[in-house]
Copies of this chain bind each other. A is one copy, B any other.
Amino acid sequence: MVQSDATRLGARAIYESLRDQIRAGTYATGAALPSSRGLAVELGVSRGTVSTAIEQLAAEGFVEVSQGARPRVAPLPVAANPSPEPATPAAPPRLSPYGQALSALPSWRDYQPSRAPYAFRYGDLSPGDFPAQAWKRAIGTELARRPTRLAYEDPRGSLRLRRALQGYLWRARTLRCDADQILIVNGSQQGLDLCARLLLGPGDRFVIEEPGYRMARMVFGATGAQALPVPVDADGMRTEGLAGLDARLAYLTPSHQFPLGGVMPVGRRQQLLDWARAQDAVVIEDDYDSEYRYDIRPVPPLHGLDTRARVVYLGTISKTLSPTMRLGYLVVPTELVHAFVTAKQFADRHTSLLEQEALASLIEDGGYERHIRRVRRANAQRRAALLQALTEVFGDRVEVEGAQAGLHLVVWFRDLRPDQRDSVIAQALARGVGLYPVDPHYAAPEGPQCAGFLMGYASLDPARIAKGIRLLGEVLAQLDQHRGA
């Protein structure tokens, strides 16, 4: 409580007491309240305090006041004395089909902070990588600006940021587009949700990678549309599996397949786009971590490979700056811009402006790309530490996938059955190691053949990574002993 306005609190207490008495029937309809002088004396407050309370009761329709007379209780259209019914309504809430689909889902608490000191959680970043000084400067500069008026922004977002991203996308991804095709969203999650709402409905079908990004599958599926999973291998989606599939939308991560890490070669890319054109399907290209490639330049996006196919390109800064800063962007085909802009306007008018402008300034002065080069080096070291530790501790016992790019690996334990997974996770956690299974990213309920873990390394330093893997080695060694026994 920061206010201490005794008079006001007095008036409020009096107001509440009288209101409750009226509602309880202590004063019947038409009955006069005590005079304000009488109440003031009785309660030991000023007459003004009582008057404030009475004015409030009158404003809300509890009492009627007329010049020179005592206030009288106003007629209420219903019994003022509520019968003792249960405090909550009996019937369950009636929800839309979307609401019912969401209500039926269990809580998915992937956002709850892990207390494990060696949590290999994908999506988390190290605060030490955040460009704190540059960001503080950029934010400070924007806060110092004073516009002529404060008004809603274009639903697409700041034009300055869209122009900065237009240049960035060309420099970093050889992606050519108009600033009017760029839509700033609250992280790639909102981009996925807008695509789902605009393109999918009950009875529709969508293509996803198997395994693939679980959250995309869930958001698309919540519309009532049906998932058509197409298996992936080391080169991403096996696009020959698209033949004959009738779908409205295909969601892919061609630059770095999530979670298995494949990079889709041009032949498959072309096959995908040919299929999309023939089906009149929209391809959602999620380029979620293209900034992180350790040996060669990032692979150019699908977007622009075939101008006759409809590709929605999706980018994010959750992997370069912070997941808590909700900024991402869509590049939308011209003919879909109106629908996307209106959907964004209906969803939340526009993304909050301050961080958009700060990001624009960071891109404009080159700080963003310098930052990316720096964290790419830091993550290359983490990756090397993880690969080395895995080799030293487990050797051939594990198979590693997806090490060329990104901020995570998938580690398969060849000799661990899927049903041993949960006990490994529990025992690892008891030693402070957070492990995250790959299974939830499979649409098929049976999942993979052996136990696999998605190991994110972007929030840990190399020494901690090595220690975490050693601790995991102890867990597996203990398991072997039990087997032997």
Contacts and interface: CB of A to CB of B under 8 A. Distances in A.
Contact of A200 (B1, B96, B150): B96
Contacts of A105: 342
A205 B421 CA distance: 48
Given A146-B132, A197-B96, A198-B95, A351 B186 contact: yes
Interface in A132-172: 132, 135-136, 139-140, 143, 146-155, 167, 171
Contacts of A56: 296-297, 299
B93 A310 contact: yes
Of A11, A85, A349, the most chain B CB neighbours within 10 A belong to: A349
Contacts of A419: none
A93 to B, nearest CB: 6
Contacts of A310: 89, 93
B308 A85 contact: yes
Interface in A86-133: 86-89, 91-99, 102-103, 105, 107-108, 110-114, 119, 121, 123-127, 130, 132
A87 B76 CA distance: 68
A66 interface: no
Contact of A346 (B121, B185, B218, B459): B218
Interface residues of A, number: 144
A288 interface: no
Nearest to A151: B124
A35 B230 CA distance: 39
A335 B93 contact: yes
A109 to B, nearest CB: 9
Given A62-B266, A187-B348, A339 B113 contact: no
Given A1-B167, A155-B111, A353-B325, A126 B98 contact: no
Contact of A350 (B107, B111, B267): B111
B326 A352 contact: yes
Nearest to A95: B198
B171 A111 contact: no
A125 B12 CA distance: 30
B59 A299 contact: yes
Contacts of A199: 93-96, 99
Interface in A344-397: 345-355, 364-366, 369
Interface stretch (A268-276, A436-444, A470-478): A268-276
A67 interface: no
Contacts of A343: 98-99, 102
A3 interface: yes
A323 B55 contact: no
B223 A308 contact: no
Contacts of A365: 2
A25 interface: no
A368 B256 CA distance: 45
Contacts of A91: 280
Interface string A248-269: 1000000000000001111111
Contacts of A481: none
Contact of A324 (B152, B215, B263, B309): B152
A346 B102 contact: yes
Given A1-B167, A268-B61, A99 B151 contact: no
Interface string A31-64: 0000000000000000000001001100111100
Given A59-B296, A197-B96, A335-B92, A151 B102 contact: no
Contacts of A126: 149-150
A201 interface: yes
A44 B346 CA distance: 55
Interface string A317-333: 00000111111000001
A233 B267 CA distance: 66
A180 interface: no
A22 B343 CA distance: 40
Contacts of A60: 263, 265-266, 299-300
Contacts of A82: 306
A466 interface: no
Contacts of A136: 140, 143
15 contacts: A11-B297, A61-B235, A76-B267, A78-B274, A89-B310, A98-B343, A103-B338, A113-B151, A125-B151, A151-B324, A151-B459, A152-B324, A186-B349, A189-B348, A222-B346
